[in-house]
Structure 1
Amino acid sequence: MKFSLEWLKYFLETEASAAEIAAALNRIGHEVEGLEDPADRLEGFCVATVLTAAKHPDADKLQVLTVDTGEGDPLQVVCGAPNARAGMKGVLGLPGAVVPANGMELRKSAIRGVESNGMMCSVRELELGDEHDGIIELPEEAPVGSSFAEYSDASPIFDVAITPNRPDCMGVYGIARDLAAAGVGTFKPIEVSEIEAAGPCPVEIRTDDSEGCPAFYGRVIKGVDNTVSSPDWMQRRLIAAGQRPISAIVDITNYVLLAFGRPAHAYDLAKLTGAVVARRAKDGEKVEALNEKTYTLDSSMTVIADDAGVHDIAGIMGGEHSGVTEGTADVLLEIAYFDPERIGVTGRKLGLASDARTRFERGVDPEFLDDGLAILTSLIQRVCGGEASEVMRAGSPPTAPKQVAFDPALTEKLGGIAVGDEEQRAILGSLGFEVGPNWQVSCPPRRHDIEGAADLVEEVVRIHGLDAVRSVALPRADGVARPTATAEQAAERKLRRAAAARGLNEAVTWSFIPEADADHFTEGNGGLWVLENPISEDMKAMRPSMIPGLLAAAKRNQDRGAASSRLFEIGRRYFRGEKGASDERPTLGVLLAGEKTPRGWDNGKAESFDAFDAKAEALALLEAAGAPVANLMVMGEAGSQFHPGQSATLRLGPKNVLARFGALHPATLKAFDIDGPVMAVELFLDAIPPRKGGGSFARPAYAPPALQAITRDFAFLVPVDLAAGDLVRSVNGADKQAITSARVFDVFAGQGVPEGKKSVAVEVTLQPGEKSFTDEEIKAISDKIVAAAAKQGAELRR
């Protein structure tokens, strides 16, 4: 909400500066989002007198003016305004000034061959209104040479964020009341004029929807002149609030809205037929609102209508056809109290927002109907003239004050600050609360946010000063903040970092996928969750795998010319558990598509990913997750979605599958319309056993061995279908104390190797402990390695 300092001071007598007021607003809980001084934008503009005005020698619509600024010789200025003439006073922008409306910096220049030393300005150019037919014409008493910012008394503008629970402060009047309670100044209550009625209201006003509109007041003013402009002071305040002046009557209703937080509406009486009624809309009724859009209504919505139909979406926006115009002679003023909940529901259904809705759905002051109508009437009569009828009142607003039992000791207990009893009474009293001798507090009806004693504590604390509340750490038994992440969350965070460190890009895909994609990754529909009311057909099934979403992302990348996709995602797979229960399983998916390395002068063609790349990612990420990688078994049966000869699973024992990896089957690539080859990995995080000795991922302290390691090479003849990993695992287990690692460094089949066999060469690293190995010890370890390999059907190659 925006308002000027000058407007605030109309309701608050204070000598505080704009900066001091902004600090006080922040201190009492009204966040100041901005403080702008229009005087800064008017720097370089001054009051000047036009001495002479002559026709431009080379342009019919331009004049050459001689302008006196009160300093030095007169200046020559070229001007195109039709009202520019000798003897008038206006606003001159000197070279170096920046025009607020368009940001243009004024410079000395030649216009059609005639030198111009600045610009005479219009109202629109200085953003003081919409008028732009001529330059500003100032009164004769305007002091020549003075700064226009000082002459116009440009006032600083506050931009304050009002929280939804404080509708009483959605007007400058309420802000002033709060500041006065905080000691910033003295609150000046508005004096409501007595309106002399010229007769009874000629229009019947009633409410047929007492739930949606408990109170509906109105009166007619005849003989108004809406061709006049609203007063300068009103336009200045409206412009400061970001409102564009429209017409006198519309400006007055906007002024009351922004000044007092009280929406109201003015109808052209000539456009109404019969009684004006607050009622429920009929299903299918339509209304064209002031925003020139047509809305279809239903029976849950409250409207203002006459015998001809709906004119107003109650509490939200008026109708286009019954609004006032320059030709309006008689107006019907309407002011009402609408149910906040009904207004909110209607606004959301229609997708319609307005300043009136913002206030009504939070709750306006139900006691301000008569005063608000009197203020509107008084302003209209002062500006537009006319005779007012008596007020017609239908229904009654909920004005009964809420009673709250309060204990002043709660302020220190809940607010953490000690405030004396008398100060608490004074604070509550200054805010309009009535405090009884036994601390029974009567709340003003405008304070819809007060529900109990805790809310009164908040009032006392914020007016006393939120900055007086000490910042105190929450008590901890050991003085150290305890971790809030679960072991599963910590593991997922570590995996994310590990995957990103390996050059993978995290993707976030939908948990819902097309049913056909889900079918492809599940063994039969019995385990698939299908939505009965999906957002769309492409989001119908809950994903049984992370791979379909990653495939869709890779395809989008591929379609847009991306040469390579390295994606990962951590999320949930969804299955039907026992007896149809939902089963969600944490999973990490990886997808490698496109080029592993681009083509280049050193390697020729681009290199694609293969199954070994997928395996490397699976093992690295499993190790990061704390899985016992050294004990894993490589087995087949990765699934029908994978290529049978280029895929496998990683298991702890025959049944506990920790991951599957490899190349996706050509049929899978065809089903997802993506070019291959494509490698995929799925890590089943719920299958990873917990770490022994606790859930910490910290590594033990590294102690380098005192003696140098040695290596020994072994070449084994093994069956051609034996997995090299099985052989390496047997070799590693031959002597766990001495052998630190074993790796395959050569595989050969061909001449010199029996048919049905292959030669696998393994490098074994031996690490001595406190003393070096003897030849006999090395031979004994070698014999153990050969014996362990023999259990896999291997024999030492001679």
Structure 2
Amino acid sequence: MDVTNYLTHDLARPLHVFDAARLTGGLTVRPAREGERLRALDGKDYVLSPRHMVIADETGPQSLAGIMGGLDSGVTEGTVDVLVESALWDPVRIARTGRELRILSDARYRFERGVDPALTREGLDRAVALILEYGGGQATAMSVAGAEPDTARAYRFDPARLRTLVGMDLPEAEQRRILEALGFRIEGEMAHVPSWRPDILGEADLVEEVARVASLSRLEGVPLPRRGPAIPRPVLTRDQRRLSAARRAMASIGYDECVTYAFIDETAAALFGGGGDRGRIDNPIAADLSHLRPSLLPGLLRAAARNQARGFMDLALFEASETFHGAEPGEQRTEVAGLLVGRAAQKGVHGAARPWDVFDAKGDLEAVLAALGAPSRLMLRREGSPWWHPGRHGVMTLGPKVVLAEFGEIHPRILQALDVKGPAVAFTLWPAALPAPRSAGRTRPRLEMSEFQPVERDFAFVVDEGVEAQALLRAAEGADKALIAGVRIFDVFRGGTLPAGSKSVALTVRLEPKDGTLTEAEIARVAEAVIEKVSRATGARLRS
């Protein structure tokens, strides 16, 4: 025992000695069988499995390989004949076995960190020599099983790499001296790695050894070379700039920003086109956060409900973040959503309280679109998502197919399901759908103003109740695109002498000449064109 302990600390070469008289038959190195037991030298019984390597005789395990010997075959004061074992074990298997069985030993400590393969036979020879010198006796022939692994390897030794990798200057002769003192053999441009250094796996490791011995305290701080301007160029993408502009626009209008979870409950997800297995999270952090959100509106409505429960009834909330229509990469898009709940104006001396309506949401949406540089003329149609009120919502599109935004009143069944006291109006905007600006510059375009007097003319048309006012606006704007600068609705009237099922829509048409002051004949021509265009497009007639 004194010999093996001595060599363990002297050469980091663990050995094990069996009492040869207590062994039955030859020794075999094998995985343990399921349920086999071993009483180790620490006096404890261990139940083994095929994950554990053992040295066994015909009666069973006599040693837990690389960790601890067995008590039944251990050396005692009466031992006469001994069997000395020197082996090389897999570090990973030794570490795993030691952790599973909770055994700490000197042998495990060294084997799991790696021992010198070249000392397997040399360690055995030294141990036998010491036993013969201090204990006497006679040694038998050595029995060898397996082959010593070939650990010979060499890497290119480049003294200049110390400067490029570490930033340290050291003469080549000093670098060679350090490596040779550490056991490396330098032959020309190649450095041969000693067998006890399994951690050396490349040229960079050679540089690290030199720097470690020479001391990193010799390094001098040197600023990195500047390869560009002191102030770097902006790196934000167009979509990131748009999202930032949308946040600023919403805040300037008077909205408060919310940051809600990207996870929502399945009920809320199903209300907004999600739910099911596509957006389900395998390991949710809570039962009510089980799905990826398909829209920002569920989170805003939940936030409104919590505020209403605490007495805050008038709210203007917004969020700008990601939404998901699937769980795969790319199945997401950036969305900006605004929610208005409660009253737009409090009652006072100037009038009664007024709740938010769909036109408030439309106006705020148009303000945000303008801040993002959207085209001024967009198409407006219905057939929006099912969570909007069927008769109080709209969809803004760029052409017939590209949907930019939706706005309207939230459907009453949605408000009831999410416990929100309505009515509530909202809008959702997808900035990525906006076209790229035609000019790459950041300066504003030149302001073009006419030096001639503008002219406004009013028209009142009688149309069927089902005709949308937007249709009249589009028709009037297209009567003369060169002169008509804008058209707006200033009155809608029902009843009186009008036929049942009809309404009167009054428009103001603004004319801005570019080449000269308009004459009465030119104004009359444009007025006739407006009447003819609106009548043909909507079936309207001029109100007398």
TM category (shorter chain) comes to: 0.5 to 0.7
Within 2, Cα distance between the matches of 1:590 and 1:540?
22
State whether residues 180 and 186 of structure 2, in contact with CA within 8 Å, keep that contact through their aligned partners in structure 1. no
Please state how far the C-alpha of 1:515 moved relative to its aligned partner: 1.9
Q: Deviations over 1:458-485 (max 9, x none)?
A: 7759938665444224479xx9967655
Shift of 1:412: 5.0
CA contact (8 A) 1:731 1:785 kept: yes
Q: Structure 1 residues 543 and 303 mapped into 2: Cα distance closer, same or farther (>3 Å)? A: farther
Q: Is the 8 A contact 1:278 1:305 kept in 2?
A: no
Deviations 1:577-596 (A, max 9, x none): xxxx8872414242424345
Q: 1:453 aligns with which of 197, 200, 203?
A: 203
2:416 aligned partner, one-letter code: K
Q: Give the partner amino acid of 2:424.
A: V
Equivalent of 1:677 in 413, 417, 423: 423
Please say if residues 642 and 664 of structure 1, whose CA atoms lie closer than 8 Å, have aligned partners that are also in contact. yes
State the partner residue of 2:186.
436
CA contact (8 A) 1:747 1:759 kept: yes
Name the structure 2 match of 1:715: 459
TM-score by length of 2: 0.63
Shift of 1:714: 1.5
- How far does residue 434 in structure 1 lie from its aligned partner after superposition? 5.3
Aligned residue for 2:495, secondary structure, equals coil
Q: Which of 502, 522, 540 in structure 2 is aligned with 1:757? A: 502
Q: Mark the CA change 1:424 to 1:776 in structure 2 (over 3 Å): closer, same or farther.
A: farther
Alignment of 1:537-552 (within 5 A): 537-552=287-302
Contact 1:277 1:306 in 2 (8 A): no
Q: Distance in 1 between matches of 2:156 and 2:513?
A: 81
Deviation sequence 1:532-563 (CA, Å, 0-9, x none): 55444323333332322222233233334444
* CA distance in 2 between partners of 1:737 and 1:423 (Å): 86
Q: Which residue of 2 aligns with 1:664?
A: 410
In structure 2, give the amino acid aligned to 1:557: N
- Counterpart check, 1:616 vs 2:369: no
Q: Is the 8 A contact 2:339 2:426 kept in 1?
A: yes
The answer to whether the 8 Å contact 2:407/2:427 transfers is yes
User: Is the alpha carbon distance of 1:689 and 1:567 closer, same or farther for their aligned partners in structure 2, counting shifts above 3 Å?
Assistant: closer
Is this contact kept in 2: 1:591–1:681, CA < 8 A? yes
Which secondary structure does the structure 2 equivalent of 1:788 belong to? Answer: helix
Confirm or deny that 1:705 pairs with 2:449.
yes
Alignment of 1:584-733 (within 5 A): 584-597=331-344, 599=346, 601-602=348-349, 607-630=354-377, 632-686=378-432, 688-691=433-436, 693=438, 696=440, 698=442, 700-719=444-463, 720-733=465-478
Q: Secondary structure at the match of 2:436?
A: coil
Give, in whole Å, the separation in 2 of the partners of 1:441 and 1:482.
Answer: 46
Identify if the C-alpha distance between structure 1 residues 432 and 732 changes in structure 2 by more than 3 Å, giving closer, same or farther: farther
Q: Tell me the distance in 2 between the aligned counterparts of 1:553 and 1:444.
A: 67
Cα drift, residue 668 of structure 1: 0.5
Matches within 5 A, 1:330-369: none
Specify the SS of the correspondent of 2:225: coil
- Taking a change above 3 Å as real, the CA distance of residues 621 and 774 of structure 1, as seen in their structure-2 partners, is same
Kindly indicate whether the alpha-carbon contact (under 8 Å) linking 2:255 and 2:317 is maintained by their aligned counterparts in 1: yes
CA contact 1:749–1:757 (8 Å) conserved in 2: yes
Contact 2:274–2:294 (Cα < 8 Å) also in 1: no
Equivalent in the alignment of 2:260: 509
Q: Check the 8 A contact 2:302/2:418 in 1, yes or no.
A: yes
The CA deviation string for residues 634-671 of structure 1, in whole angstroms up to 9 with x for no partner, is 22222332222221222234444322211111111111
Does 1:784 find its partner at 2:534?
no
Distance, in Å, in 2 between the alignment partners of 1:613 and 1:573 is 27
- Counterpart residue number, 2:321: 570
1:558, 1:449 → 2: CA distance?
A: 64
Q: Measure how far apart 1:430 and its partner are.
A: 12
Q: Which amino acid aligns with 1:707?
A: E
What amino acid is aligned across from residue 426 of structure 2 in structure 1? A
Match of 1:463 in 2: 216
Counterpart CA distance in 2 for 1:561 and 1:466 is 64
Change (3 A) 1:661 1:427: farther
Q: Equivalent of 1:766, from 494, 498, 511?
A: 511
The amino acid across from 1:438 in the alignment is G
Change (3 A) 1:304 1:557: farther
In structure 2, how many angstroms separate the alpha carbons of the residues matched to 1:755 and 1:466?
93
Superposition deviation, residue 603 in structure 1: 5.9
- Superposition RMSD in Å: 5.1
SS class of match (1:571): strand
Of residues 299, 306, 322, the one that matches 1:556 is 306
Instruction: For 2:335 and 2:309, locate their aligned partners in 1 and report how far apart those are by CA, in whole Å.
Output: 25
C-alpha separation between the residues in 1 aligned to 2:45 and 2:481? 89
How many angstroms apart in 2 are the aligned matches of 1:678 and 1:304? 74
Contact 1:596 1:607 (C-alpha < 8 Å) held by counterparts:
yes
Structure 2: gaps spanning 5 or more residues: 16-39, 50-65, 72-89, 101-108, 117-148
Letter of the structure 2 residue corresponding to residue 724 of structure 1: A
Distance 1:436 1:403 in 2: 9
Equivalent in the alignment of 2:156: 405
Separation in 1 of the partners of 2:153 and 2:43? 32
Residues of 2 paired with 1:608 and 1:342: CA distance? 74
Greater RCO (CA < 8 Å, at least 6 residues apart): 1
What letter corresponds to residue 716 of structure 1 in structure 2? A
Unaligned runs of 5+ in 1: 1-198, 207-213, 218-272, 283-301, 308-337, 350-359, 368-397
The equivalent of 1:26 in structure 2 is none
Quick check: which has more Rg, 1 or 2? 2
Cα distance, 1:767 vs structure 2? 2.2
> 1:425 aligns to what SS in structure 2?
helix
Alpha carbons of 1:637 and 1:435: their partners in 2 closer, same or farther (altered >3 Å)?
Answer: same
> Aligned with 1:538: secondary structure?
coil
Structure 1 residues 534 and 703, CA gap change in structure 2 (3 angstroms): closer
Give yes or no for contact 1:279–1:305 (8 Å, CA) kept in 2. Answer: no
Partner of residue 491 from structure 1, selected from 237, 242, 267: 242
Distance 1:280 1:401 in 2: 39
Q: Is the 8 A contact 2:249 2:368 kept in 1?
A: yes
For residues 486 and 788 of structure 1, the distance between their equivalents in structure 2, rounded to whole angstroms, comes to: 43
Q: Is the 8 A contact 1:707 1:772 kept in 2?
A: no
| Separation in 2, partners of 1:518, 1:406 | 62
Question: What residue identity is the alignment partner of 2:309?
Answer: D
Give the match for residue 103 of structure 2: none
Q: Distance in 2 between matches of 1:509 and 1:778?
A: 55
Distance in 1, matches of 2:497 and 2:409, equals 33
Q: CA deviation at 1:712?
A: 0.8
Go from structure 1 to structure 2 and tell me whether the alpha carbon gap of 1:624 and 1:697 turns closer, same or farther (over 3 Å shift). Answer: farther
Report the TM-score when normalising by structure 1: 0.45
**Secondary structure of the structure 1 residue equivalent to 2:538:** coil
Is the 2:91–2:113 Cα contact (8 Å) retained in structure 1?
no
**Compared CA separation, residues 528 and 463, structure 1 to 2 (3 A):** closer
- Cα distance between partner residues in 1 of 2:194 and 2:244: 51
Answer yes or no: is the 8 Å Cα contact 2:246–2:368 preserved in 1.
yes
Letter in 1 for 2:456: R
CA distance in 1, matches of 2:196, 2:306: 55
Q: 1:646 to 1:280 in 2, by over 3 A?
A: farther
Q: Tell me the distance in 1 between the aligned counterparts of 2:442 and 2:429.
A: 22
- Equivalent residue, structure 2, for 1:734: 479
